[in-house]
Amino acid sequence: MTGIQSAQTAWHAEDTAHVFINALVGFVQEGKAERALDAIRTLLAPNATVTATDIATCCRRVS
């Protein structure tokens, strides 16, 4: 290999490593976000009363 080909190979290896690290970080963050949303769902009220044009309606939360 010439010096240029060697440098290109090194760059491709570095790019590949960046892609895999980025995918791993994204996977971990998605798991954390899912757990955070589950925690927020436990705080939400299961029922709500909606008033529009002086008519009160009771609604249930849909999961």
Cα(31)–Cα(12) distance, integer angstroms? 29
Q: Which residue has the tokens 């927020």?
A: 40
The pTM is what? 0.53
| Average predicted confidence (pLDDT) for the chain | 81
Q: What is the pLDDT of residues 39-53, one digit of tens each?
A: 998 888 777 777 777
Give the range of the structural domain holding residue 27, as residue numbers without chain letter: 3-60
Spatial CA neighbour of 50 closest among 61, 63, 39: 61
φ/ψ (deg, to 5) at 59: -125, 145
When divided into structural domains, the chain yields a total of 1
Cα(35)–Cα(39) distance, integer angstroms? 6
How confident is the model over 21-44, as a mean pLDDT? 94
